[in-house]
Structure 1
Amino acid sequence: MKTHAEKPLSSVALSAAENDSNAIIFIEHPKPESNNSEVIIQELVSHNIKHIFLVPGKLIYPFINAIDSSEIKGIVGAHETACGFMADGYARASRKFGVCLAISGPGTMNFIPAMAAAQADRIPVLYLAGGISTYHEAQGAFQDGSNSGLDELTIVKPLLNSAVEIKNGSTLKYELRRSLISLNTQRKGRAYLSMPVDIQKKKMTEHPQLKPLKPTDSYESPIDIKALEKVLKLHILGKSKVAILAGHRVNNRSDAILLHHLAEKYQIPVATTLSGKGAFSEEHTLSLGVYGFAGHTRAVETINGEDVDVLIVFGCDLSQRDSLNWTPKLHGNKRLILIDEDFEKSCLHYQPDVQVFSNLNGALQHLVNAVDEHDTRLEEVKEWRKEWLQKINNLPLILKRSELPSQNINEKQYIYPGDAIKHLRQHMSSNTNVVVDSGAHRIFMAHYWQSNGCGDYHTSSSLAPMGWAVCAGIGIKLAAPENDCLVVTGDGCMLMHGMEIQTAARYGIKVIFVVMNNSAHGAMYIDTLHNRGISSGYTALPNHDWVAFAHSLGVTAARASTLEDLDAALDVAHDHDGPFLIEIEVGNDTPPNRYYADSTFEFEQRISNL
């Protein structure tokens, strides 16, 4: 089903729209003998959901039986938070929404960290729960999460777009429609749907059929053609030095394809934020690299410099990390143009010169296709920007390795994290989905890993919960099985959710888990080396044997103390049929984040003068 207006698309637009799944489709005629839990699962099948991540419990037996008799596969995780993270990853890679399932009460409470992470990054996820029977409510029943017990709807509502408990089968289709509409990839919502176990078992109540939603009902934001034409004429095709900053809302394969065509057609250099890393190839001659947290020299010096006349920001909230602590240099003397389909959180520290509210995919399509390839203005603008682009390309990308002292807690031989990442990049295929956790390794990965620019870089960048990537990588691999999947995490993150590697082993999910083991909460321990922060007793960790841990859970593993060890382990991991863990012994080196550190100091100076 098409979700844009009925009009011919160019080959570029068609290739970009291949995986578009924004359309809302409802089954008109569910089986008359279906019970309520089966109706819900049938609806998810109609949305092409292939996996549901769950922790089993007696209160969801009907849901589990419905999954067993459907085309959907249930993936049993060790913890409900991890299942929520897996659904988060599944949504990112599939461009649909993720689904997780647990019992009400304690299961729902364990969903909360995952709900918060998905809310912060605007990832569409459906959280399903099964509650105690209606005839047990308000009597002090075991695990009562209803409004007569824990009242969990009140607790989770602030993190969701929709939160309902269905106690009457006649309202099921209506509440389900309300929940699913909010999960559209344009709205990027999250929905919680709870159903008592006795209602799950009941046959579907007869009621008037709901009509399928039409393409025009798919809740996409419009395309502001008039405003885009003005941006195109006055700036993109004008004699202006234009740069692009791409955020997380264009960090997907379809938008990335269009962004590459846009940059090449008009010769516009592109930087991404940390959350947008993956939207543009960092091997491309027009790449500026990462701007903001873990930023590259070329991106920061160009965007904060005096040469850029116009900065076009696509799909970015200009948050603290994405804007270098809201530096005034990002706007400076240049014109700031924001093109976005969501202005809920953006522009809090900036007053853009132009704001275009438009569907991002449609905006990119229009800007790519609006000018004919033989238009003389194209050659003129390319020639005019040629000298400036050559100047930009002379700027280095990677920062020099810090000369500040580094340390390995156990005084063993160790690998510099940046060198390890370069070897990872050399060994992994170009279409690898890389999933990165929170910690010092996140900074090293953002700076040293060269993204291929096809929506292939995933990280929870706003809330940044530790251990997220271990779980999300499983969901991402299941959503995109044709792509290799590399999870890069740390020993601190493994202590949070490392248990979920057993889920990958249980289902034979081929993910390479790389544990950067520095025997510390690295980002904070490094502060202690420089006499900042807190004492090392709070930041050092025992040197756990992650290889032995992996073996105990049925995951094949190897340890790398040298780059030669790492190369050998990666060769074995590629040939291994199933999950593989590589423990890399790294030191506590100062991460390449100088620009962000400088911006933090500058911000504190600014507010001290208020």
Structure 2
Amino acid sequence: MTTCGEFLVKQLEARGVDTVFGIPGVHTVELYRGLPGSRIRHVTPRHEQGAGFMADGYARVSGKPGVCFIITGPGMTNILTAMAQAYADSIPMLVISSVNERERLGLGNGYLHELPDQRRLTSGVSAFSHTLMSVEALPAVLARAFAVFASERPRPVHIELPLDIITAPADHLRLAHRPELRRPAPNRSLLREAATLLKNAKRPLLLLGGGCVEASAEARALAQALDAPTALTINAKGLLPPGHPLLLGSNQSLPPVRALARDADVVLAIGTELGETDYDVVFDGGFEIGGALIRIDIDAQQLLRNHLPHLAILGDARLAMRMLLADLPAGELSPNSPGAQRAATARAQLAESFEGWTNYRRLFDTILQALPQARFVGDSTQTVYSGNHLVELDGPRRWFNSSTGYGTLGYGLPAAIGARLAEPQRPVVCLIGDGGLQFSLPELASAVEARVGIVVLLWNNQGYGEIKRYMERRDITPIGVDIHTPDFLAIARGFGCAAERARDHAHLAELLRNAPADRPLLIEVQEAPPFA
């Protein structure tokens, strides 16, 4: 007999799933029955939140949904934070959980792992949550989930299987034909109207977000055609390469870029929420758009949030760029063009504001000289905050972290593991602080077990340094921020990792070049000379 749990595995494999993150429990073991006969790799985190963060990092790199098998009750409450981070950053994630038998749902009799309503818990952090009430409904519900990933704003989906459904016979089910779904094309007449506005603009500005990561070539061509200074959200880093004459970096919260936004006569924003964590990290409400705003987004509701547009165009970012380019002159990329000159002036002003950040610039220069192809996966920590402004890379999906959107701690390490599993050939550097690492420290064991070679660059300031400074600036006596700092090197070695404290930049470069490929290397960098 083929059970529903076994048939689920076959369907996932047929849809290209090659990795599942999860911790087996008595309520999910029947989901695992079909895994040994499949080509799907199972990775065991040490906490369900870690499973979600690993799936998130995997999805950001691969572009495919990260898949998790999660137990009833505590497994679901544990993964909610990871789902919320993925929801905020529009990351595809498929969370498949168990739930109590159908006849026991909602009774409140105290069954193992019982919750009143798991779907209600997940509804705020998922595109949809569904309880499978019959075996026959499984193909259609999975098709619905993958339709979200393929054709809508990608976000987590939760499907829960009652225990009596997981073990029910599914011999009568067959893998069904899957029609190919694509994201919707934008309205051509609205795009032509946008093209007319842009062709007549004297001071255009281009704002690109994470919704554009699949359109790197189109983004570069569009910036050139418009001769528009271009700002990238943190999740869009790499759409324009370092040294591009129109690049403003991810500095929309700083005065030089804000001045361009106020002065622009037409602003084109594509695939970006225009949200606080990219446009107002100083939390003063100071980002303003002075001219006509054109917004293009896959999410109709998002088109009308934060900043109301003159033109709102619903559709896929890549298709919209291609259609716009057909109505625009090709343009020439020149450091002497009006747009490049405006961008150069803003970059010079930004450089002045970064003069006190030479220590961080030197740190990233050292890393990129040793590992020029590195991908950076970050937590919420000082190296991430500075790198968001300073670091530019030559392609998308090479820089992401949890300082955007939901802004959780503990994300960096498990997400870096997922990122390396998605693309094993590229080095991964996890940027994390001593406070954040203590949220997910046991995931070092997961990486050792899975033979994942990542570099964990630990910025150690012996506490929650950023929050402490924030309290002091507000004249609040610091409490709860000077936390005990363990011996991270000893702990990492105990987990089976390599671990060293970098003495200086030359030693750091040597450690990076010799990082093992089959286990993590934790490098502790003290927030003190020569790194401070």
TM-score (norm 1): 0.79
Could you tell me how far apart the structure 2 residues matched to 1:353 and 1:328 are?
20
1:441 aligns to 2:379 (yes or no): no
Please provide the CA RMSD for this pair.
Answer: 2.9
Could you tell me how far apart the structure 2 residues matched to 1:464 and 1:120 are?
9
Decide which of 288, 292, 297 is 1:335's aligned counterpart. 292
**How big is the shift at 1:316?**
1.0
1:270 aligns to 2:270 (yes or no): no
Cα distance change, pair 428–338 in 1 and its aligned pair in 2 (3 A): same
The question of whether the paired residues in 2 share the 8 Å contact of 1:257 and 1:454 is answered with: no
Name the counterpart of 2:351.
Answer: 398
The question of whether the paired residues in 2 share the 8 Å contact of 1:486 and 1:514 is answered with: yes
**How big is the shift at 1:312?**
0.8
CA deviation vs aligned residue, 1:493-520 (integer Å, no higher than 9, x gap): 1011122122111111121111111112
1:389 aligns to 2:345 (yes or no): no
Q: Within 5 Å, give how 1:334-353 maps onto structure 2.
A: 334-353=291-310
Q: Which moved more, 1:563-572 or 1:85-94?
A: 563-572
Q: Within 5 Å, give how 1:93-132 maps onto structure 2.
A: 93-132=61-100
**How big is the shift at 1:356?**
1.7
The question of whether the paired residues in 2 share the 8 Å contact of 1:54 and 1:80 is answered with: yes
Decide which of 244, 256, 278 is 2:206's aligned counterpart. 244
Name the counterpart of 1:212.
Answer: 177
Decide which of 220, 224, 232 is 2:195's aligned counterpart. 232
Could you tell me how far apart the structure 2 residues matched to 1:539 and 1:173 are?
49
Could you tell me how far apart the structure 2 residues matched to 1:157 and 1:358 are?
25
Secondary structure of the residue aligned to 1:486 is strand
CA deviation vs aligned residue, 1:333-369 (integer Å, no higher than 9, x gap): x222112121423543423222222211101222334
Decide which of 12, 17, 21 is 1:53's aligned counterpart. 21
Decide which of 282, 291, 295 is 2:251's aligned counterpart. 291
Structure 1: which amino acid aligns with 2:165?
Answer: I
Name the counterpart of 1:203.
Answer: 169
Cα distance change, pair 264–388 in 1 and its aligned pair in 2 (3 A): closer
Decide which of 403, 407, 419 is 1:464's aligned counterpart. 407
Structure 2: which amino acid aligns with 1:581?
Answer: L
Secondary structure of the residue aligned to 1:78 is coil
The alignment of Structure 1 onto Structure 2 pairs a total of residues equal to 525
Name the counterpart of 1:279.
Answer: 239
Could you tell me how far apart the structure 1 residues matched to 2:338 and 2:447 are?
51
**How big is the shift at 1:491?**
0.7
Name the counterpart of 2:130.
Answer: 164
Decide which of 579, 594, 603 is 2:520's aligned counterpart. 579
Cα distance change, pair 426–302 in 1 and its aligned pair in 2 (3 A): farther
Decide which of 319, 331, 335 is 1:362's aligned counterpart. 319
**How big is the shift at 1:205?**
5.9
Cα distance change, pair 542–401 in 1 and its aligned pair in 2 (3 A): farther
Could you tell me how far apart the structure 2 residues matched to 1:134 and 1:124 are?
28
The question of whether the paired residues in 2 share the 8 Å contact of 1:292 and 1:321 is answered with: no
**How big is the shift at 1:388?**
4.6
Question: Among the aligned pairs, what percent are the same residue?
Answer: 22
1:423 aligns to 2:391 (yes or no): no
Secondary structure of the residue aligned to 1:330 is coil
The question of whether the paired residues in 2 share the 8 Å contact of 1:162 and 1:182 is answered with: no
Ranges in structure 2 where 5+ consecutive residues have no aligned partner: none
The question of whether the paired residues in 1 share the 8 Å contact of 2:129 and 2:158 is answered with: yes
CA deviation vs aligned residue, 1:79-98 (integer Å, no higher than 9, x gap): 00110111111111111211
**How big is the shift at 1:470?**
1.0
**How big is the shift at 1:555?**
0.9
Name the counterpart of 1:450.
Answer: 392
Structure 1: which amino acid aligns with 2:138?
Answer: L
The question of whether the paired residues in 1 share the 8 Å contact of 2:234 and 2:399 is answered with: no
Name the counterpart of 1:19.
Answer: none
Could you tell me how far apart the structure 2 residues matched to 1:87 and 1:79 are?
13
Name the counterpart of 2:260.
Answer: 302
Cα distance change, pair 238–99 in 1 and its aligned pair in 2 (3 A): same
1:190 aligns to 2:169 (yes or no): no
Name the counterpart of 1:6.
Answer: none
**How big is the shift at 1:576?**
4.4
Secondary structure of the residue aligned to 1:452 is coil
Cα distance change, pair 71–261 in 1 and its aligned pair in 2 (3 A): same
**How big is the shift at 1:124?**
1.6
Could you tell me how far apart the structure 1 residues matched to 2:441 and 2:278 are?
28
CA deviation vs aligned residue, 1:372-410 (integer Å, no higher than 9, x gap): 75xxxx46xx78981452353144243545779xxxxxx
CA deviation vs aligned residue, 1:511-546 (integer Å, no higher than 9, x gap): 111111111212112235x55353234212223322
The question of whether the paired residues in 1 share the 8 Å contact of 2:245 and 2:335 is answered with: no
CA deviation vs aligned residue, 1:165-188 (integer Å, no higher than 9, x gap): 224323333333333333335331
**How big is the shift at 1:67?**
1.6
CA deviation vs aligned residue, 1:179-202 (integer Å, no higher than 9, x gap): 333333533132211223343222
Could you tell me how far apart the structure 2 residues matched to 1:112 and 1:164 are?
16
Q: Within 5 Å, give how 1:127-138 maps onto structure 2.
A: 127-134=95-102, 138=107
Q: Which moved more, 1:394-403 or 1:266-275?
A: 394-403
**How big is the shift at 1:142?**
3.9
Could you tell me how far apart the structure 1 residues matched to 2:327 and 2:490 are?
58
